[in-house]
Amino acid sequence: MSAQALNVEVTVVDPEVAVVAVQGDLDADTGTYLHHQLANQLVHGRRHLVLDLRAVPFMDSSGLGIIIRAINDTKRVDGSVRLSALSPALRRLLDLTGISVTTPVHADPDEALAAIPRTPAHAAAEPEGGASADADRAATGPGPRSA
């Protein structure tokens, strides 16, 4: 039985915000990789993380643990995790565990990004990266990116 590889694509929107698009099964075999990617974003000052989960067909308890850990880690630095583009199966799992009650869930990454409270640091970064931030957000959709 071969496990589906997990692909994680990070798009930095501004110095404090990143969209993390996850593709593949999120389980005991792949969760550590996602945890390292999320922790790396926090180390680099990104306090607000948007998890784009549209391409995650399966998540087990270890995947839930990674999300809960990310939520707790971002809270420690006055940040947040926002979940977006959940499949009905993932939404049900997050509803049953109560995660969707305590963590914002959005229809897509753009909606999640719009809901992040803006601080002076965000405002200072916005004029510089305004147009490119929009382009970065558009690049978070599923499918291969052309080089």
Read off the pLDDT of residues 110-132 as tens digits, 9 standing for 90 and up. Answer: 999 999 987 665 554 443 444 33
What's the pLDDT at 128?
41
What's this model's pTM, rounded to 2 decimal places? 0.78
| Residue from 96, 49, 116, 58 nearest 76 by CA | 49
pLDDT band at 11 (very low <50, low <70, confident <90, very high): very high
Grouping H, G, I as helix, E, B as strand and the rest as coil, residue 28 is coil
Read off the pLDDT of residues 73-99 as tens digits, 9 standing for 90 and up. Answer: 999 999 999 999 999 999 999 999 999
d(CA 31, CA 37): 10
Q: Residue 33: is it exposed, middle or buried by C-beta count within 10 angstroms (0-12/13-18/19+)?
A: middle
What's the pLDDT at 1?
37
Measured N-to-C along each axis, helices 31-43 and 61-76 cross at an angle, to the nearest 10 degrees, of: 10
